[in-house]
A and B are shown apart, each in its own frame.
Chain A
Amino acid sequence: MLRRLKSQPDKELRILLLGLDNAGKTTLLKKLASEDVSHITPTHGFNIKSVSSNGFKLNVWDIGGQRKIRPYWRNYFENTDVLIYVIDSSDRKRLDETGVELRELFDEEKLAGVPVVVYANKQDLFDAAPPDEISDSLELLSLRDRAWHIQACSALTGEGVTEGMEWAMKTVGRKKK
């Protein structure tokens, strides 16, 4: 698999990182770029980073998730290859809210058919909801027109982060051939 991907170097993928505020999007982005994750502040606009992985050049867009910024998410939808949706698994009170936001994304025409990876983040915390509980409570089970994958992870420790990205690259790699 890896060999096949490597033989087509530098295929660019545009990856959009969304999720509620405090979900861990910026932490995840920094972890992907192997940067320090200890001093991160809420994102008011957006961050972009390019990361090379498995012969892909991943252009990752991390958009702030605060309620007042969410209406601007739509400015970034165009040409997205993979949607990454980050969830704070320990914030059970907001699982409904994050589910509603995600459902709205699924209804967006510009994101039609785009595969989605849901990162069930903050699994290092003892009260984190397990991924199967999260996939039950999100609107993933109603999806038919796109592939989805749920990945337990901790952006802080890095656990699970690459697995989710590998799924994304495989899935999109297949489609983009």
Chain B
Amino acid sequence: MFSLCYTCCRREGNREAVTKALPIAVLGLDNAGKTVMSTGLSGEKDHNPAPTVGFSNNDFKIGKQQIKLMDLGGGKRVRSIWKNYLSEIYGIIFVIDASDSERVTECREVLNELLRDQRVREKPILLYVYYNVLGFHPNKKQSPLLSYSLANKQDKAGAMDEMDICTALHVEDTVFKVKCPSRIELCSAISYGTGKKVDPAIYKGLCWMIAIIHQRWEDLDSRVKRQNEEHKAEEARKFEEKKARARLNKEEREARERE
């Protein structure tokens, strides 16, 4: 399966797209597994990263396509930074820990809020779902570890599959409304290796995303460029305001010191 997927990515894609490093944001709740997955794809093994309170870049290649994964913090007090990255990205990877059934509602709200943003419209979204049970992979649904860890949640003892997840997240409607091509992959970031040896499901998902981006390149690229320019202009304006305020404050302080 791995080699099959690899060749699918190597099929000639859009000429212009492959000359770029495509920015893709990795979003999701805190503790979802974003950093493990992002560093894993760039060839690093770190199964216990500190919570991300900021931003980091992970570069790697899938076939000929260079990707720039932006790994952002997902904690309640960090999420507000996401909006600053939405204009320049070509797609979103949304990571979900399906075993954390207590946070399904929160996850749904965060995802829906994200999808409401204009800048996400029509961009591809890949939902990566995994079960946060050590060594368990969704393909082996009878893992004894799973029933063990969910023993105190008898009503949820069965593993969720794609359909359950779709239902629980109510994503279908929303995704349809904002015209985001979307896809769910069940995967594990820690039961496999790193770099090209990551879970084939992760790889397959990324191949899908790249194919979509290539297919819709003209449209997507012009939208990204426009949004990006707007965002940069807005940032520049804010910085000028800040400089003016800093100058004013400094003058006030100096005047006070002279008195």
Contact between A96 and B55, CB atoms less than 8 A apart: no
Q: List 26 A-B contacts (CB under 8 A).
A: A93-B253, A94-B249, A96-B245, A96-B246, A96-B249, A100-B239, A100-B242, A100-B243, A100-B246, A103-B239, A115-B56, A131-B77, A135-B54, A136-B80, A136-B81, A140-B54, A140-B55, A142-B235, A143-B55, A144-B57, A148-B54, A149-B52, A151-B53, A163-B50, A170-B46, A171-B56
Categorize the interface residue count of chain B: 20 to 34
Q: Hey, which chain B residues are within 8 Å of A130, CB to CB?
A: 77
B250 in the interface, Cβ–Cβ < 8 Å? yes
Contact between B239 and A139, CB atoms less than 8 A apart: yes
Contact between B249 and A132, CB atoms less than 8 A apart: no
Q: CB < 8 Å: which of B44, B46, B55, B81 contacts A147?
A: B55
**Smallest Cβ-Cβ distance to B42: which chain A residue:** A174
A167 in the interface, Cβ–Cβ < 8 Å? yes
**Smallest Cβ-Cβ distance to A137: which chain B residue:** B242
**Smallest Cβ-Cβ distance to B244: which chain A residue:** A96
A141 in the interface, Cβ–Cβ < 8 Å? yes
Q: What 1/0 flags go to B203-247 for Cβ under 8 Å of A?
A: 000000000000000000000000000000001000100110110
Contact between B84 and A141, CB atoms less than 8 A apart: yes
B250 to chain A, nearest CB (A): 7
A3 to B33, CA, bound (A): 22
Contact between A1 and B54, CB atoms less than 8 A apart: no
Known pairs A140-B55, A149-B52, A167-B50 / 19 extra A-B pairs, C-beta < 8 Å: A1-B46, A1-B48, A96-B242, A97-B246, A97-B249, A97-B250, A131-B53, A131-B77, A132-B78, A136-B80, A143-B55, A147-B54, A149-B54, A150-B53, A163-B50, A166-B50, A170-B49, A170-B50, A174-B44
**Smallest Cβ-Cβ distance to A99: which chain B residue:** B242
A5 to B44, CA, bound (A): 13
Q: Hey, which chain B residues are within 8 Å of A135, CB to CB?
A: 54, 81
A141 to B85, CA, bound (A): 8
A120 to chain B, nearest CB (A): 10
A21 to B142, CA, bound (A): 60
Q: Hey, which chain A residues are within 8 Å of B245, CB to CB?
A: 96
A115-130: which residues lie under 8 A (CB-CB) from chain B?
Answer: 115, 130
B65 in the interface, Cβ–Cβ < 8 Å? no
Q: Hey, which chain B residues are within 8 Å of A97, CB to CB?
A: 246, 249-250
A30-49: which residues lie under 8 A (CB-CB) from chain B?
Answer: none
B31 in the interface, Cβ–Cβ < 8 Å? no
B188 in the interface, Cβ–Cβ < 8 Å? no
A171 to B49, CA, bound (A): 10
A121 to chain B, nearest CB (A): 15
A101 to B77, CA, bound (A): 25
B182 in the interface, Cβ–Cβ < 8 Å? no
Q: What 1/0 flags go to A17-33 for Cβ under 8 Å of B?
A: 00000000000000000
